[in-house]
Amino acid sequence: MYQPFPPDRSQYPAKKADGTLDIDLTSGKYLKLWQGPNHPGITGNMSVELTVCGDEVVEGKTHVGYLHRGFEKLMERRTFIQCFPIVCRICVPEPDFNEYCYAAAVEELAGIQAPERAHWIRTLILEMGRINSYMMYLGGQAGSLGQGVIGQWTTYVRDLMLDRFEELTGARIYHMFILPGGVRDGLPDGFAGRMEETLREIESILKDVYDVMFCNAVFKARTVGMGVIDPAWLDEYGVTGPNARAAGVAKDMRKDHPYLVYPELAFEPVTGKDSDIYTRADVRRRDVLVSVDLIRQIMAKMPMDGPLMCAVPNVLHWKIPRGETYIRGECSRGEYGYYLVTDGSGYPRRVNVRGPSYTHAMALLERMIVNISISDVAALMVSLHTYPPEIER
């Protein structure tokens, strides 16, 4: 078990009667250190205010708000179809979950049903996005420990997948493809063959990543036994996704609350045992292989003809009766959900986005960051796989 500091906790600040830490900054024993908002060891536009004693972090507070664009408020002033090109911007590396959850919530409240073929294409897109997001993570996790080359390899295969996105949707990052009522288009000619080539390249690169990153002695020394999430914390802190699966709990919304065509696909949630940084990285690496397999199944089983959109009312005058619903999906970070409230008008009354990073990067990170070394903060933060835009929406 990796122990950054000896078990003697005498340096650790005592607690005051009200439960807050007794940190006297004027004593000269402690130092405030900001990691972020502009720092190579931070995940996106956020910052962590660290209080350190020597090398040891005694308190960490997450600060967000550098990327607040007020999406939820913006959407209250826009018609249902005008919200559709906005939602994808809430999460940059994996925008499709926003589109799917928003579209499904609108469909449910409006009482329309997307056609079967659209469900298959939606599932395909969500799995492609998942691979992209994991590839970004693997590069970041290796980079946080000084292995730059892994990021270059994973960016290469991510780029191949972006090419597939481009030919399917016309865009590389924000696809705006899954709209209420269905999807915009079917697969282009020869897509299956090019997708298969991409999948083979991903598998081949992942083998290299395994050899160079996961078998690397330094990577193991820095990550095994480091940043453990106690399974008892999962409910307390709302931990979902690979962070929960690495702790041995097979929480996967694709199985727990099946949506789209997942009931027709064969797969098992990937779980780990040790719940440390290494296990979380390994769970995500194996999850990529599951996604690769799912894409192959989808390509083989998908109906090649049929409608892509159902009949939708005139979107300029689309009024949806009063109601509320919650739609969720399993994104690469955990449970992604949209809570949509309508009031009978042509505008949403309230849209609330439940991003998994909201709990992971705030309450959970602040708890886990205590008593680790400054040099491990970046690795720990990346291992929770958080994207700040979905915290502040």
Nearer to other proteins, 91 or 288 (CB): 91
Nearer to other proteins, 196 or 324 (CB): 324
Nearer to other proteins, 134 or 259 (CB): 259
CB atoms within 10 A of CB 109: 21
Least gap, CB of 237 to other proteins (angstroms): 5
Nearer to other proteins, 257 or 286 (CB): 257
Least gap, CB of 241 to other proteins (angstroms): 13
Give the residue among 250, 246, 248 at the shortest CA–CA distance from 223: 246
Question: Contacting other proteins (CB under 8 A), which of 358, 378, 379, 382?
Answer: 358
Question: Contacting other proteins (CB under 8 A), which of 4, 13, 115, 323?
Answer: 323
Residue list 31-90, contact with other proteins (CB under 8 A): 64-65, 68, 70, 72-74, 76-77
Nearer to other proteins, 129 or 337 (CB): 337
Least gap, CB of 97 to other proteins (angstroms): 15
The pattern of x and - marking residues 238 through 257 that bind other proteins according to CB under 8 A reads x------------x----xx
The pattern of x and - marking residues 97 through 136 that bind other proteins according to CB under 8 A reads -----------x----------------------------
Question: Contacting other proteins (CB under 8 A), which of 152, 204, 352, 375?
Answer: 352
Nearer to other proteins, 129 or 334 (CB): 334
Are 334 and 249 in contact by the 8 Å Cβ rule? The answer is no
Residue 33, exposed/middle/buried by CB under 10 A (0-12, 13-18, 19+)? middle
Which whole-number Å values give the CA distances from 5 to 53, 87, 371, 379, in the listed order? Answer: 12, 44, 8, 17
Nearer to other proteins, 185 or 256 (CB): 256
User: Nearest 5°: CA angle at 365, between 360 and 370?
Assistant: 165
Cα separation, 207 vs 85, in Å, equals 37
Nearer to other proteins, 233 or 278 (CB): 233
Cα separation, 10 vs 53, in Å, equals 12
User: Nearest 5°: CA angle at 270, between 266 and 273?
Assistant: 150
Question: Contacting other proteins (CB under 8 A), which of 137, 165, 237, 278?
Answer: 237
Least gap, CB of 139 to other proteins (angstroms): 28
Least gap, CB of 264 to other proteins (angstroms): 15
Task: Give the tokens for residue 251.
Answer: 């929480």
Least gap, CB of 257 to other proteins (angstroms): 6
CB atoms within 10 A of CB 187: 17
Least gap, CB of 106 to other proteins (angstroms): 14
Nearer to other proteins, 111 or 190 (CB): 111
Least gap, CB of 143 to other proteins (angstroms): 27
In the chain, count H helices and then E strands. Answer: 15, 8
Question: Contacting other proteins (CB under 8 A), which of 367, 370, 371, 374?
Answer: 367
Instruction: For residue 345, state whether it binds other proteins (rule: CB under 8 A).
Output: no
Q: Which amino acid is it at 164?
A: R
Task: For residue 179, list its beta bridge partners.
Answer: 182
Task: Give the tokens for residue 90.
Answer: 């809430």
Q: What is the dihedral of CA 139, 141, 144, 146, to 10 degrees?
A: -60
CB under 8 A: which stretch of 3-11, 215-223, 232-240, 294-302 binds other proteins?
Answer: 232-240
Question: Contacting other proteins (CB under 8 A), which of 143, 151, 241, 337?
Answer: 337
Cα separation, 217 vs 213, in Å, equals 9
* Sequential DSSP letters for 221-262: HHHTT-SPPPTTHHHHTT--THHHHTTT----HHHHS--TTG
Residue spans of beta strands (DSSP E) within the chain: 31-35, 47-53, 56-63, 178-179, 182-183, 323-331, 334-342, 348-354
What residues line the site for other proteins (CB under 8 A)?
A: 64-65, 68, 70, 72-74, 76-77, 108, 235-238, 251, 256-257, 323-326, 328, 335, 337, 339, 341, 349-350, 352, 354, 358-359, 362-364, 367, 392
